Amino acid sequence: MKTTTIFFTFILFVLSFTTVSAQANFEKEKTAINKMLDEFNVAAAKADYKTYFDFFADESTFIGTDATEVWNKKEFMIWAKPYFDKNKTWNFTSLKRNIYFSKDGKLAWFDELLDTQMKICRGSGVLEKINGTWKVKQYVLSMTVPNDIVDKVVDEKTVIEDMLIQKLKK
């Protein structure tokens, strides 16, 4: 009986050590991702085209606030180039960020509230660790709409989006 008790105590110790070790590793990765996302935002604010786009994986997607804005990296680079060239980029600062990990730690996803020229926006995305570096696989930028004014916003965008809805249904 003592042997069984000692064995189970040892197993529990190993499991708890593994869990603590995994959590500590995720905390280290969370710190790295927070730093990366902050640097990502700074690169855009400074109109540093190369640095900004180096944060994206080669095969990645950017989804903007307009329903028509779904671009792969190359398309997004083409769209954004004139803004970077004219120093007319965006300046986003994270107000609150959540980061989550897949069990194997190779993927992470995040959501954050951003202070922007459009007021509060939501950034969310999927990150993949590629050759030891976290890269953006998908980034989604959304404008937030306070519930108290949703009806006004819907009224304002109805004409434009009704046409887009009809086009997308065809």
Q: What single string gives the DSSP state of each residue in the chain?
A: -HHHHHHHHHHHHHHHHHHHHHHHHHHHHHHHHHHHHHHHHHHHHTT-HHHHHHTEEEEEEEE-SSTT-EEEHHHHHHHHHHHHHTT-----EEEEEEEEE-TTSSEEEEEEEEEETTEEEEEEEEEEEETTEEEEEEEEEEE---GGGHHHHHHHHHHHHHHHHHHHH-
Distance CA 117, CA 45 (A): 11
CATH number of 2-143: 3.10.450.50
1-30 pLDDT, tens digit per residue, is 566 666 555 555 555 544 444 556 799 999
pLDDT in the model for residue 54: 98
- What is the tens place of the pLDDT at every residue in 114-151? 999 999 999 999 999 999 999 999 999 999 999 999 99
Structure confidence at residue 17 (pLDDT): 47
* pLDDT at residue 19, rounded to an integer: 43
- Which residues does residue 43 pair with via DSSP β-bridges, in sequence order? none
Q: What is the mean pLDDT of residues 48-73?
A: 98
pLDDT value of residue 25: 78
What predicted TM-score, i.e. pTM, was given to this entire model? 0.84
Q: What is the pLDDT of residues 92-112, one digit of tens each?
A: 999 999 999 999 999 999 999
